[in-house]
Amino acid sequence: MNTGIIRYSLNSIRYYLTALQKRKAVWMFALLLISSFLDVVGLASLVPVMMVAAEPGGIQKSKYFAPIYQALGFQSDRSFLLVLIVVVFLFFLFKNLFSTWVNYLQTKFTAEVGLSIIKTQLTKYLHFPFWYFNDLGSSNLINSTLQVPSTYVNMIMRPLFIFFSEVAVVLVIVVSILLYEPKLLVILVVVLVPTTLLTYRALRARSQVIGNRINELRPGSFAVISDLFTGFAELKLANKQSRFRDRLLSNQQEIQKLDAEAYLYTLVPLKVIEMVAILGVLTIFLYAIYVPSTETNLITLVGLFAAAAYRLMPSVNRMLMAMVQLKQNQYTIENLEAFREPKYNESPHPQQLPLTFERTLTFDRLSFSFPGSEKPTLRDITINIRKGEKIGFIGSSGSGKTTLMNVLLRFYTEQSGHILIDGQPLTAQNLEAWHRIIGYVKQDTFLMEASIRDNITLGDDAADVDEERLQYAIDQASLRTFVAGLPDGVNTHIGERGSKLSGGQRQRIGIARAMYKRTEVLVLDEATSALDNETEREVNEAINKLSQTDITILIIAHRITTLRECDRIYELSQGEVIAEHEYTSLMRQIVQP
């Protein structure tokens, strides 16, 4: 039997186990061996019991039971058999209780490792470079972070435990047969091994194809159903819900068909092995016919084989099922191994340094290119901004405005040049300190399905909320009147993605979040571009109120009126600063024919 998938799976599991968990795994395997041994002993004990019970005077003739019968002073075979049956029952009771306890430890262990894998996946993707994070997409990220680890535990780890447990059972049975009748073992090996091997070879390739295809389809289902529910209103008005529904059902139809086929393949080994077992019995009869033996020997031989097959058939079946499941779900190992290269890891520097912003923020000859792009997205940007200034950025789509802000936010890292804070280069060592003082409000503000309070504080526990700071943030974002008019005030739930709020209210919650954070630098990226004139006026009111503070504000806008309070306005084109404007002169250029 090909053990490549076994070795591959074991190496994968070893990667996630701590030193303590590796010792637990060895202990778990030892317990499985004991449990398997007890299984075999229990079933093997039934053969002599049945034989002495079926033969009159069998107890007195038995070289095993006769000494016990006499030593314990039994007076009748019936009472001895009754005690013997009770002992066998108690042994089976102990065996099953012990096996259940081992199974409990096993499932607890795999659940612990499963949580560790989810933690590893979360850490990996939360430290993903921003570019690759956006490229991968939320549906793939959700699938790889939650669905894949769950499948890995259920279809890789647990089948491995089953496989090794059943291997132990089979080995004990094989050794028993070898000691009792070596010739019988040879015949059984000739019959069973090729059949088992051929069955696995016939199923493994197709099973792997099924698993890989399901893994391809599942993220697509997540994406379509997310669009279907998130875009409920738009799709309903456009009469496109049925199209998205059909797309989802088509995807699910293929997944269900593949799942059914995979399930069928788990049933096939049992049928094949059952036929092989019958063939084994026939083989024993042929052996007994052509090899000189007595009728008693034949009965004993068939009885031994029946007892062995009773335990051997399920064991071999479970081994085959485990192997098929491992091949079918091999994609989970490959998925978990993806993106382990250093270029995908932007973990925080272990030694974080303090950072203060007192005087200036400078883009110093800054250049940036996206991975694989020959043309720079930003080229030699040099801008000096004093603390408390309000700076605007304009330019056509693709001019580099948002990319420049993403570099400032440290989602991207420049290839040349520097960002200087009071003359100090912004590096990975002061990233956490920088993120504590910079805020970000974008066109589609992130909102949780929670209360206004939770959205402003980003889920802080009630005991940790600074109420004075919260009220200050609400005032600065011009939300006071709105919140005061709500029955539950800041505890009002806003619906999924702020569905119960207007566009302006959503943006102002984003501004309030930045103010609650004690932001010293605030980036507004197209914060009003999707709003109507009246709603834009409301948001601009909040922005203008911030102009009275010492917060440094950087505003990207298509609507020039949003930049009214800016000290300077920079125009970008093809990644370069091509002009510097003041608001009045810029408006004059626009209105002139």
CATH number where 520 lies? 3.40.50.300
Task: Please check whether residues 386 and 332 belong to one and the same domain.
Answer: no
Give the CA radius of gyration of the chain.
Answer: 36
294, 309, 340 - which closes a domain: 340
Task: For tokens 């998205």, name the residue.
Answer: 244
Two structure tokens written together for 340: 């382990």
Task: For tokens 């930049």, name the residue.
Answer: 563
Task: Please check whether residues 409 and 263 belong to one and the same domain.
Answer: no
Torsions phi, psi of 365, nearest 5?
50, 50
Task: Please check whether residues 286 and 401 belong to one and the same domain.
Answer: no
Question: Reduced to 3 states, what is the DSSP secondary structure of residue 329?
Answer: coil
Residues 6+ apart with CB under 8 A from 12: 156, 333, 336, 337
Measured distance CA(584)–CA(313) in Å, rounded: 88
Measured distance CA(417)–CA(24) in Å, rounded: 51
In a domain, 345, yes or no: no
Query: Which amino acid, residue 155?
Result: M
Torsions phi, psi of 378, nearest 5?
-125, 135
Given this model, what pLDDT does residue 233 score?
A: 62
CA atoms within 13 A on the CB side of 528: 23
Given this model, what pLDDT does residue 37 score?
A: 81
Question: Per residue of the chain (593 residues), what is the pLDDT tens digit?
Answer: 445 888 999 999 999 888 898 899 889 888 888 887 887 777 767 767 776 766 677 677 776 777 777 777 777 777 777 888 888 888 889 989 998 999 899 888 988 998 999 999 988 998 888 888 888 888 888 888 988 999 999 889 988 888 888 888 788 777 777 776 676 667 667 766 777 777 777 777 888 888 888 888 888 887 787 777 766 666 676 677 788 888 888 888 888 888 888 888 777 877 777 777 676 667 666 666 666 554 555 556 565 666 566 667 778 888 888 888 888 889 899 999 999 888 888 888 888 889 999 999 999 999 999 887 888 899 999 999 999 899 999 988 888 998 999 999 998 999 999 999 999 999 989 998 999 899 888 878 888 888 989 888 888 888 888 888 889 888 888 888 888 988 888 999 888 878 888 877 888 888 888 888 888 898 988 766 555 555 566 667 667 777 677 889 898 887 787 788 888 999 999 999 999 888 888 888 776 65
In a domain, 353, yes or no: no
Task: Please check whether residues 436 and 403 belong to one and the same domain.
Answer: yes
In a domain, 104, yes or no: yes
Of 4, 9, 2, the closest CA to residue 331 belongs to 9
Question: Reduced to 3 states, what is the DSSP secondary structure of residue 229?
Answer: helix
Task: Please check whether residues 330 and 375 belong to one and the same domain.
Answer: no
Burial (CB count within 10 angstroms: exposed 0-12, middle 13-18, buried 19+), residue 549: middle
In a domain, 352, yes or no: no
Task: Please check whether residues 173 and 70 belong to one and the same domain.
Answer: yes
Two structure tokens written together for 317: 């079946």
In a domain, 523, yes or no: yes
Domain range for residue 26?
A: 4-340
Task: Please check whether residues 60 and 23 belong to one and the same domain.
Answer: yes
pTM: 0.76
Element of type H or E holding 367? strand 360-368
**Are 556 and 401 contacting, i.e. CB atoms less than 8 angstroms apart?**
yes
**Are 553 and 470 contacting, i.e. CB atoms less than 8 angstroms apart?**
no
Question: Reduced to 3 states, what is the DSSP secondary structure of residue 378?
Answer: strand
Task: Please check whether residues 278 and 375 belong to one and the same domain.
Answer: no
Question: Reduced to 3 states, what is the DSSP secondary structure of residue 330?
Answer: helix
**Are 310 and 342 contacting, i.e. CB atoms less than 8 angstroms apart?**
no
310, 340, 370 - which closes a domain: 340
Specify the length of the chain in residues. 593
Residues 6+ apart with CB under 8 A from 262: 207, 210, 211, 214, 328
Count how many domains the chain has: 2
Alpha helices in 55-76 (DSSP H): 58-61, 65-71
For residue 240, the Cα-to-chain-centroid distance in whole angstroms is 31
Torsions phi, psi of 123, nearest 5?
-60, -40
Task: Please check whether residues 255 and 369 belong to one and the same domain.
Answer: no
Burial (CB count within 10 angstroms: exposed 0-12, middle 13-18, buried 19+), residue 49: middle
Task: Please check whether residues 468 and 391 belong to one and the same domain.
Answer: yes
In a domain, 348, yes or no: no
Distance (Å) of CA 380 to CA 36, 251, 392, 554, 574: 70, 48, 18, 19, 11
Task: Please check whether residues 324 and 385 belong to one and the same domain.
Answer: no
In a domain, 349, yes or no: no
In a domain, 132, yes or no: yes
Burial (CB count within 10 angstroms: exposed 0-12, middle 13-18, buried 19+), residue 478: buried
Task: Please check whether residues 238 and 376 belong to one and the same domain.
Answer: no
Measured distance CA(227)–CA(520) in Å, rounded: 36
Question: Reduced to 3 states, what is the DSSP secondary structure of residue 240?
Answer: coil
CA atoms within 13 A on the CB side of 386: 4
Measured distance CA(564)–CA(476) in Å, rounded: 18
